[in-house]
Chains A and B, each alone.
Chain A
Amino acid sequence: MLPPALVASQLVKAYRRGRAVDGVSLTVSRGERVGLLGPNGAGKTTTLLMCLGAVRPDAGTVEILGHRLPRERDRAMRGVGFAAGYLPLPDHMRVIEYLRMFGRLAGLRQPGLAAAAALERFGVAHLARAMGTELSSGQKTLVGIAKAVLHRPDLLVLDEPTASLDPDVALRVRTALCEISATDGTALLVTSHNMVEVERLCERVVFLSAGRVVADGTSAQITEDFGRDDLEEVFLHLAGVREGG
């Protein structure tokens, strides 16, 4: 039996201002689509960065596809794709050059073909020859997601993936991500401030608040547990609790 896409156990991370993450455990099964939600400062990004090996936890462990970080980081990363809405594209590269580079970093034999297929999938094949500086923020986001999926990863981690997209393009991205998950068995771990998007894209939601997991289940279960009508109300409730201390 294949190991889960991600197993994070009892992650703790403290900075000078206090504990950013305080005992978070998170498992994402193969092919599962999980949303990681929480108000600003809840510890989402720190949790993601620890899960990706970019930040070392003070305590706790991370395993990706059965590979323990940091010891087996390079093997783990072969199966991981990552995109964040806030990460820019390099100024001095064409889109196709950028994607080919990441294809090479992922070990692909034919990165050009994989890059072209990924651009096609997200409807931006016409941008292949464009420079990073010539793209709109939405186009950059799409290219970033194409970069994350071009090697067909087993775990796709997306931090605010559709923050700068028009609703129709965001829908296209969600549809493509669901297809990838269904056809390749790719697990998704997604953070977003768009509750509607998370409800549509993710089958499971993990809510963080003050560095801890405060809810974990389907969006229907969570709204019921908190006695609210939808995830947005849960979010506002948790943000209010946080604000009020």
Chain B
Amino acid sequence: MPGRPATFGPLAAGVWRVLAIAQRHAYVLRRSPHRLFDVVVWPAVDVVLFGSIGIFAASRSGTGAQQVALYLLVGVVLWHVVYQAQIALATGFLEETWSRSLLSLMVTPLREWEYVLGVALFGLVKLVFGVGAVALIAWLAYAFKVTSVGFGLIPIAALLLAVGWAIALFVIGLVLRFGSGAEALAWGILFVVMPLSGTFYPVSALPGVLRPVAQLLPTTHAFAAGRALASGQPVPWGEFGMALGGTTAMLAAGIAFLVWMLRIFRARGFITRYS
């Protein structure tokens, strides 16, 4: 063999490590078509389901029902931002546990945040496809153009993206701590967050006991802001501010939780579950 291979400096090496992880997950998606269910099929099912419910409601009653249809369509588009971001990151990590790659990855210069960034980066690609599929079907089947809501939807989508990642960090932390028993949370936790966040309806429609819980979730305020924009109201800065504050707090808590769980993972030797 010739002399030692040339290496990048620390900064460039870090960038390449992030890209290497993103590419690894691109291979996984390309070669396991069933994973396209998360990216295309479920989004399509959701938009047809909620879009059709909305259209049915609109055809039965007056103007209030028209609003229901709009809420459902805006809700399903925005929901899939949270869903795709969360699923991509959480299942990306689960892929390492299923393929027992964790130990191999840990014995490289890869830093934890580089790994998360790499999976999240590829998750963005999946998100573009998933949310793109939802928006396209909503337009073709229900004549709902997501662009008609305006540019105000972009920061709201960005906040929901961050919430999705924050939830995924909690899920990864729980899988590190409790092993495969916590895997179901990768999908299941979203079905708790969705109704509590008032994804398709104002929080006032929730049972009274759940409303205070809903108010604590940043997603609740992001969806409320999205509905306000879709209804043609001015940017609801109050809701947006609460969503921003809540998202920041949730992301910080997610990172802190993951760091804590990683420490426990190393201290208790849980890597042996995957080797």
Show the binding face of A for B, using Cβ within 8 Å.
13, 15, 20, 45-46, 49, 52-56, 58, 70, 74-75, 77-78, 80, 82, 84, 86-88, 90-93, 97, 100-110, 113-114, 117-118, 121, 147, 150-152, 157, 183-184
Contacts and interface: CB of A to CB of B under 8 A. Distances in A.
Contacts of B105: 105
Interface stretch (B20-28, B75-83, B172-180, B245-253): B20-28
B100 A110 contact: no
Contacts of A87: 100-101, 103-104, 275
Given A84-B275, A109-B7, A54 B1 contact: no
Contacts, number: 123
B99 A101 contact: no
A109 B5 CA distance: 8
Nearest to B96: A90
B109 A97 contact: no
27 contacts: A49-B271, A49-B272, A52-B106, A52-B107, A53-B266, A54-B103, A54-B107, A55-B271, A77-B109, A80-B107, A87-B101, A88-B99, A90-B101, A91-B99, A92-B28, A92-B32, A92-B99, A101-B21, A102-B104, A104-B16, A105-B105, A109-B5, A110-B5, A110-B6, A121-B1, A152-B1, A152-B5
A55 B107 contact: no
A103 B5 CA distance: 10
Interface size for chain B: under 10, 10 to 19, 20 to 34, or 35 or more residues?
35 or more
A12 to B, nearest CB: 12
Contacts of B13: 107
A74 B8 contact: no
Given A87-B103, A151-B5, 6 more contacts: A49-B271, A92-B27, A101-B23, A107-B16, A109-B5, A117-B2
Contact of A56 (B8, B23, B267): B267
B109 to A, nearest CB: 4
Interface string B91-113: 00000000111011111111100
Given A49-B271, A55-B269, A107 B8 contact: yes
Contacts of A97: 27
B5 A54 contact: no
A77 B266 contact: no
Contacts of B27: 92-93, 97
Nearest to A113: B5
A125 to B, nearest CB: 13
Given A53-B106, A92-B32, A45 B100 contact: no
B6 to A, nearest CB: 5
B107 A46 contact: no
B99 A106 contact: no
Contacts of A104: 16-17, 19-20
